[in-house]
A and B are shown apart, each in its own frame.
Chain A
Amino acid sequence: MQDKQIVADALKSQEALSQFLRTVEPFIYQTAYYLTGKKVDAEDVTQESLWKVCRSLNQFQGEGSLRGWIHRVVVNTFREQLRKRKTPTVELDEAWQSSDLSVEEQVETRLTEQSLYQAIAMLPVNYREVLVLRHVHDMSYQEIAEALELTEAQVKTRLFRGREKLRTLFYGGDPV
């Protein structure tokens, strides 16, 4: 079935729409969870995104994939949340170094799921968005480019820089 057909089916009845939203909700939440780095914020973004998907699903024209379209909604909602909050961006290395962990403890916490989660949440937003779509949802460069309205080259640059930052954080070495 094509994405357009899925959307048409979802708009056929309340039950179908409700089921559709319930199906996509976990994916929306996962994106929000890794983008925001905070459960509470992820919940807000998820809720707002679901409303938006619900309201504008009938405007989905089948250009690009449906999941790309939905993730664009989530990313835009996340950016709005950032703007509203004007959350000061904590620079990654700075925040990491200022943590109270001793060197040994820092070594121990390296590359656990939790430390990775925290590290992703401290990446610059541009890098974070691409990284989350690539690694949490296994989206291709092209899909990410479509979803975020970027070129594939931009996607690669951001993704590579994001991963480079994470690598130097966990293993040391010269940041690029």
Chain B
Amino acid sequence: MTHEAYRELIQRAIDEDLSQAEQTVLDTHIETCAECRREYDEYMSLAAGLAKLSKVRPETSFAMQMTPELLRQTVEGAAPAAPKRRVVPLWKRAVPAAAAVVLGVGLSIPMTNGWFDHQEGTGQPDHVALLPEKGQEPTHGPTGQLLPEPPEIKPPPDQESTAALTVELKSTQSEPRLIIREKVETELPMRAVAVAPSDLDQVKEQTGVTVTPEDLAKGKEDAPRPPAEKNGDTSGIASVDEEPLPNDNDHVVVVTVNSTPINVTIEGGRVIVTLAPLSGTQGGTEVAVFELNAPHTSNDTTTVTFTDPEGNVIDESSVPVEQPTAVPRVGDAPSLDILDEAMQSKSQSDPARYSYVTDPVRVVSRHLRELGFAWNAQVSGTQVRDRVAVEQGGVRYVVGLTQPYLQGDGGLWKPAFIARALPVEQPGPQERPVLDYFRGQQEAGVIHSFSELLVLSERVRLGTLVVEAHVEMSGPHGSYESSRSQYRFHLSGDNDGTWKLDGSPDKL
């Protein structure tokens, strides 16, 4: 054999394409031929380098930006000729950089979704093998392994992700709604855990799977309201009629590991989730995230109990109850004691877990509920790093943050104040005179322009509002100087519900 022939064997060895006989020929040769041995070593180092190439991910998901209209047309069979509008990557648009970060969070989509990670020899694509086919008895895995017979088997709710099935599931009170299913590489210690919808970071921390409030909100708008009447499956419910209708906040998020919920009953203030193990999960851990309706209780927490099909308790989670309404209070931000100096140190010693504290947007997302926002409020960055925008119920808020311990990239961010954007189009009764004041100043030429009006504090009954405005003043030689200024306005109310300014505002 020539060197050239051995070289080909080496190349094929990289691809594990050699027969046993060929491998022996090669092994024998490189033992005696220094030149081929050197080449072999070089190729193997190169192959090792190639094998380690990063599985890079785009910073922003284009798939998420593709217009629903286009997707709809495709689904309905009329393949659209061309995109109506090219989606401009977020970072090329005039949006604050951090807004892109928020969208990017939703990107953590199953990467190891089975079929695309096709492994030769495993036969079935992974994520399919995990679930029984429709109509098939789910007690037998593809491996033929016999699993415990669960009582009264209902098909796992996530067999198909068709819209029809999803709607059907939403119409019953106690059916879990699949949010996301993902395979992770690591082994996880638990079988299941329940968390509050406001605490999705917990899911990430415990399983490595990212779920966003947007994921939870998806498909909710068009879901029918759960019926108030009893249904056949909820025999365990103490008295459904006396329970208030579940509202959007009466939910818990359930994470299952290598198992799937087959029955959910609500018993008094407790939720009991029966889990059946999934078969065929070799070579990975299957994590699924569901949303459940939770009973409305006066307690501070809802208890979620996980049992096996025989009714043996596997685990129990206590979930803080979501408050039905959440309107943040403008002014000083609630003190988040967890964001203390110890957390600053932890973020440095264990960045994988606590790095969120160094990102203002993630701090606000993580502590939305504690800050007084609804869990599904939309969080995005602004043009300045220390201010984060939160949209909720059509109102825009701004959370101001500071770095009390360490300045710069590694510093922990702590919310300091919550402000509300003054809606210039539709000002409230107390806001109208404030807006008129700035317009008057502009007309009089005292200021050149004003923008970004923020209500920093409001005492409605006393009629005082502290407002921050970004104003441009005329400077010398036709130039403008812009600044952020704060004003305290005093207002007095008339009997007809209108307010007017009580003197000039104090400039703070």
A residues near B (Cβ < 8 Å) are: 1, 3, 6, 9, 11-19, 21-27, 29-30, 33-34, 42-43, 46-47, 50-51, 54-58, 65-67, 111, 113, 116-117, 131, 134-136, 140-141, 156, 159-160, 163-164, 166-167, 170-171, 173
B43 engages A163 (CB within 8 Å): yes
A163 engages B66 (CB within 8 Å): no
B53 engages A56 (CB within 8 Å): no
A171 engages B42 (CB within 8 Å): yes
Give every chain A residue within 8 A of B68 (Cβ-Cβ): 14, 18
Contact (A14, B72) CB under 8 Å given A22-B61, A34-B53, A116-B53: yes
In B107-138, which residues have CB < 8 Å from any A CB?
107, 109-111, 113, 115-116, 118, 120, 124-125, 128
Partner of B57, one of A21, A29, A47, A164: A29
B residues near A (Cβ < 8 Å) are: 7-8, 11-12, 14-15, 17, 39, 42-43, 45-47, 49-58, 61-64, 66, 68, 70-72, 74-75, 77, 79-80, 82-83, 86-87, 89, 107, 109-111, 113, 115-116, 118, 120, 124-125, 128, 160-163, 166, 218-219
Contact (A17, B75) CB under 8 Å given A9-B161, A22-B63, A51-B83: yes
Give every chain A residue within 8 A of B42 (Cβ-Cβ): 167, 170-171, 173
Contact (A23, B66) CB under 8 Å given A111-B49, A135-B53, A160-B8: no
A65 engages B118 (CB within 8 Å): yes
* SS class, residues of chain B in contact with chain A: loop
Which 5 A-B residue pairings sit nearest by Cβ, starting from the closest? Answer: A21-B63, A22-B109, A135-B50, A1-B128, A13-B163
Given contacts A51-B82, A113-B52, 13 further A-B contacts (CB under 8 A): A15-B163, A22-B63, A26-B58, A33-B56, A43-B62, A46-B62, A51-B83, A67-B118, A156-B11, A160-B8, A163-B11, A167-B46, A170-B42
CB distance from B289 to the nearest CB of A (A): 14
Give every chain A residue within 8 A of B39 (Cβ-Cβ): 167, 173
Give every chain A residue within 8 A of B77 (Cβ-Cβ): 58
A-B contact pairs, 21 of them (CB 8 A): A1-B128, A6-B115, A11-B74, A11-B75, A12-B75, A16-B161, A17-B75, A22-B64, A25-B61, A25-B62, A26-B55, A42-B58, A54-B74, A56-B79, A66-B115, A67-B116, A111-B46, A134-B15, A159-B11, A166-B46, A167-B39
Give every chain B residue within 8 A of A46 (Cβ-Cβ): 58, 62
The interface centre, meaning the residue of B57, B63, B83 with most chain A CB atoms within 10 A of its CB, is B63
Bound complex: CA A110 to CA B54 (Å): 17
CB distance from B43 to the nearest CB of A (A): 6
B66 engages A18 (CB within 8 Å): yes
A27 engages B87 (CB within 8 Å): no
